[in-house]
Chains A and B, each alone.
Chain A
């Protein structure tokens, strides 16, 4: 028998081509989202003639981006663990209703007048409780989270509308006092943040000068919440034991369980995290505008899932990145808000964009999954 020198010296491990930096980058989940984001930023900057990124444009865009970012981060973590939450949008509506109703009509059970803090805290207890309930139903029943959370999508929206009508005789609340002027807690959600950024811009001679005074003074507070939530989620997912459990739960639940990963606790905790994100979303909305109505948050759950997918999260779980969701949120926020900067388009264009990008992302993700596992 003849054996060539090369064949004799080769090992199984030699067959994995680690490739260069470029190949390694191409295996990262957020790479596609990054490319799309760069394209969208450039396209909108040009089409709007720069107005999308002037001081006021940036502030308004960041407000929408942060809103998307907060819920999409939570949706992403849940999807990596292999579950969906379709109740996010209804949870936003429910939390907003709960907070404003308490502020207007007082705390339940005759506990007296509500402050922004007590209204928020009591609402958070309820939403976390509902998140726990959803998670528990999913893990105990073994039903698909798609169906269980679809039920809660209808249930929570219905409860919100009924509560508004029965107690308030109207499906919206307005005319609440401007709490952020008097309560530091309300200001934490509804006020402004990163004022130094615009102060510096003004000081450097930026064009935020109206009659000698600086007229854009900071970003909306929700930008700060988005950054805090995204940083925390990134750290937990990429750098902690809990993060390893989240990946393991979504990749192959049975093998994770066999290795001692508490897969049920992981999933319940993440359903509570999406409820938490929805509550923060609602609190920022309530304390900024001092209003609420029964349709708040409508369809937000689908946008959150779309952003997570565009950010490189696999629909089947086990893979994804918070950084990708950051890129996805920036992309979606800019396009959703583009109608205000580009006169020729309206909201329908946004939906066309979302549909097209989503489909593209799913194909890219599938391709990515095969590349990671060596199928390509």
Chain B
């Protein structure tokens, strides 16, 4: 049996009287896309924040490569190899692709922080890393503001991987994009998956997208896991049912019909 890259054991997070997460068990394996699905308020964001070190769990334990860890800050999580790509992507639109790629981790010669940037080398690395996951940035000096949403997403992913992420947490990477751009991002995810050494946690609302790329699914509702399984174990109908937080589609259709009849 393989060791999961990330495993959580009965994770509980309370904010005062409010229980955001109530005992989450999760296993994420390298070379797999793990879709994390659930409606708004299901606890997806809280779970990500625990995994990326923004919040600390009230109870329960996170394991990375089988070792128990406790993250006090996002920096700790990032050191442990957990790279989070948030919806805002943490990119600066007026700066060049290269300057964004190396933001805060520049290559330089000389004393910090006044060392001279090794710009040619950084341009080359940026270009090469972007090619690896499918985008040819012809000019690494172009401003990020000129890139499409899909390209920006790819840049943020390439950056996280280059700086040592074993686990990529993608927070609704397709939600703000057009149809074609969404497909670009899914392709990027599949290229990363094909490397085999990186685990992807894919947070999404989109049932179709999750079915296209995910190997494993976990469904959250009201802070608890209401369903989980591999692609083979889950039938298509189940996914839609679980996505809606356990509400039967038939019930919804009936409710809508009732309203129409009024």
Interface residues of A (CB under 8 A from B): 11-13, 16, 18, 236, 239-245, 247-248, 251-252, 254-256, 258-261, 314, 318-319, 369, 372-375
Contact = CB atoms under 8 A, between A and B. Distances in A.
Contacts of A236: 114
A261 B106 CA distance: 10
Contacts of B99: 244, 247-248
A244 B108 CA distance: 11
B91 interface: yes
A190 B137 CA distance: 52
Given A259-B103, A260-B105, A240 B113 contact: yes
Contact of A252 (B93, B102, B116): B93
Contacts of B90: 252, 254-255, 258-259
Interface in B124-157: 135-139, 142-143, 145-148, 150-151
A55 B102 CA distance: 48
Interface SS, A side: helix
Given A241-B113, A251-B93, A373-B145, A258 B74 contact: yes
Which of B113, B119, B148 has the most chain A CB within a 10 Å cutoff?
B113
Contacts of B104: 245, 248, 256, 259-261
A240 B135 CA distance: 27
Given A18-B138, A247-B94, A252-B93, A372 B145 contact: yes
B103 A256 contact: yes
Contact of A245 (B89, B113, B148): B113
B105 A259 contact: yes
Contacts of A240: 108, 110, 113-117
A244 B103 contact: yes
Interface of B: 74-75, 86, 88-95, 99, 102-106, 108, 110, 112-117, 119, 135-139, 142-143, 145-148, 150-151, 184
3 nearest interchain CB pairs?
A: A373-B145, A260-B104, A251-B92
Contacts of B86: 258
A251 B148 contact: no
Nearest to B148: A12
A247 B113 contact: no
A118 to B, nearest CB: 28
Contacts of A369: 94
Given A16-B139, A247-B95, 11 more contacts: A12-B150, A18-B142, A241-B106, A241-B112, A252-B92, A255-B92, A256-B92, A258-B90, A319-B94, A372-B146, A373-B94
A258 B113 CA distance: 18
Nearest to B91: A255
A81 to B, nearest CB: 12
Contacts of A248: 92, 95, 99, 103-104
